[in-house]
Amino acid sequence: MKKTGIFITFEGIDGSGKSTQVKYLANRLMTLGREVVLTREPGGSTGAEEIRSLVLEGAPERWSAETEILLFTAARRDHMEKLILPALDDGKIVICDRFADSTRMYQGLTRGDLRATVDSLTDLMIKRQPDLTILIDMDPELGHQRAKARNTKEERFEDFGVDLQRRMRAGFLQLAKEFPDRIRIVNGNQSVEDLSEDIYGVVQETLL
């Protein structure tokens, strides 16, 4: 029988440490002999990476929320076709830094009442949901400070300010209540090492 892969996503406000923790988890699983594919959104495939620069760079009001939803869905569809689904079919563990839950928050709730639109497009074009989502919950002010301190050109959403991060945090916590079987909350207000241990414990408990 063909082995089925495992799809793990990481979510949280900007500056919550997702990018660091996905690498920690991937390295730990690989030391155990597991085949791991580490990826991110928007991006992960050639076409999706091209769309990434469109949505993450430029002025905050560059795109409307509706246009962003279409761009993110197009990137996600290409990502699924070219990388995620083939890896899962090969029995690998796919770890993704952000996925559809981020679109539900950024475009679906915090910039208008467009959650139903995001869900409809996800059901129609993406279909596959993660097996486990790690939600790193942390103080919005601290997260915003960390995000801005990175000083990269991909700061379009950070430029909306800390108020967006507060609304994002509230939205993610509500989403965790909506999908309790999939989304697990971990405390991001602790050391990188302690957070890594908490995350690995969740992964062991729920999937491995």
Mean pLDDT of 23-39: 96
Q: What is the pLDDT at residue 1?
A: 45
Q: For residue 150, what pLDDT is reported?
A: 64
Two tokens at 174?
A: 């509500």
Q: How confident is the model at residue 158 (pLDDT cuts 50, 70, 90)?
A: low
Tokens representing 17 are 């440490």
Three-state SS at 203: helix
Mean predicted confidence (pLDDT) in 131-137 = 97
Return the SS3 of 50: helix
pLDDT at 152 over 80: no
| pLDDT at res. 68 | 87
Q: Which are the contacts of 192, defined by CB distance < 8 A and separation ≥ 6?
A: 17, 20, 21, 24
Token pair, residue 71, equals: 């761009």
Mean pLDDT of 154-164: 63
For tokens 């990018």, the residue is 19
Q: Which spans in the chain are helix H?
A: 18-31, 46-56, 65-79, 85-89, 100-106, 115-121, 140-149, 162-178, 192-206
Flag whether pLDDT at 183 surpasses 80.
yes
- pLDDT, tens digit, 9 for 90 and up, residues 47-99: 999 998 888 887 777 888 899 899 999 999 999 999 999 999 999 999 999 99
Specify the pLDDT at position 204: 94
Q: Kindly list the domain boundaries of the chain, sorted by start residue.
A: 17-206
Whether the CB-CB separation of 115 and 121 falls below 8 Å is answered with no
Lowest-confidence region among 4-13, 35-44, 58-67: 58-67
User: CA–CA separation, 31 vs 208, rounded Å?
Assistant: 14
CATH class of the structural domain 17-206: alpha beta
For 51-62, letters b (16+ CB in 10 Å) and e give bbebbbeeeeee
Place of tokens 């580490």: 38
Return the pLDDT at 155: 52
Rounded to 5 degrees, what angle do the CA atoms 174, 128, 67 make?
A: 70
Residue 197 has pLDDT above 80, yes or no: yes
Q: Which has more confidence, 156 or 60?
A: 60
Which residues, 6+ apart, have CB-to-CB distance to 205 below 8 Å?
none
Percent of the chain with pLDDT over 70: 88
